Structure 1
């Protein structure tokens, strides 16, 4: 009597039921979709941050331009208010007399502190940024300096 031995490949491997393959596929798709959603959320946050930084950069450039424009005006026009509707900000400037003395103790005249500020909203919070510079303007000056 002869006995047949089963082939070695058939003994060690069993066929998995089809439901487990489907379950593994569903789990891998869930993990992949979570990773894609996390990546999309990160990209959305990066775009929002970029938008905020671009707006703040535009505001600072506007502040610098406003400063350059105002400091060239005569003394009587140094105090100004300008609202930029595109950015939703308000720029304002004010000049105050500055008292400085030289080495000999002599008071230097016609010096002013020019303060240029911008106020804007970030969400519910109101922010202000300002620049202060010293300017020399004669009282009787009619042309730009």
Structure 2
């Protein structure tokens, strides 16, 4: 009679141990899934920043009339938009720097379920050709 009672406790302990193990494994699986989602978001963010930098350099080299443009990167799903605005700065001698422009580049993309924007502003000196 002592042997059958002991076997029941071992079975109960085994069920409890397996349940605790299953809960632990499920917790680890959820943590791994969350970390993979975060890694994907960070990778996309890095790709957007590299694309933003490349687009900025490309647009900056164009003539002034072609600096305001749009580009859609189909592979990453990012829309790059550039706009240019004249900036008038006055020097300490009272002269106006009229060939200075503010180039703004905006990257619009979807991260997770939200639409996000990253932007860069750069001052560009484009003297008038004579």
Instruction: Verify same fold: TM over 0.5.
Output: yes
CA deviation vs aligned residue, 1:41-86 (integer Å, no higher than 9, x gap): 1011101100011001101110011001110111111111000011
Counterpart residue number, 1:117: 106
Say whether the 8 Å CA contact 1:115–1:131 is kept in structure 2: yes
Q: What are structure 2's unaligned runs of at least 5 residues?
A: none
Q: Give me the TM-score of the superposition, normalised by structure 1.
A: 0.82
Aligned residues: 128
Counterpart residue number, 2:49: 60
Counterpart residue number, 2:64: 75
> In structure 2, how many angstroms separate the alpha carbons of the residues matched to 1:33 and 1:72?
59
Q: Give me the TM-score of the superposition, normalised by structure 2.
A: 0.91
> In structure 2, how many angstroms separate the alpha carbons of the residues matched to 1:17 and 1:111?
88
Counterpart residue number, 1:11: none
> In structure 2, how many angstroms separate the alpha carbons of the residues matched to 1:123 and 1:139?
44
Q: What RMSD, in angstroms, separates the aligned Cα atoms of the two structures?
A: 1.5
Instruction: Describe how 1:38-57 pairs up with structure 2 within 5 A.
Output: 38-57=27-46
Residue 17 of structure 1 deviates from its aligned partner by 2.5
Higher strand share: 2
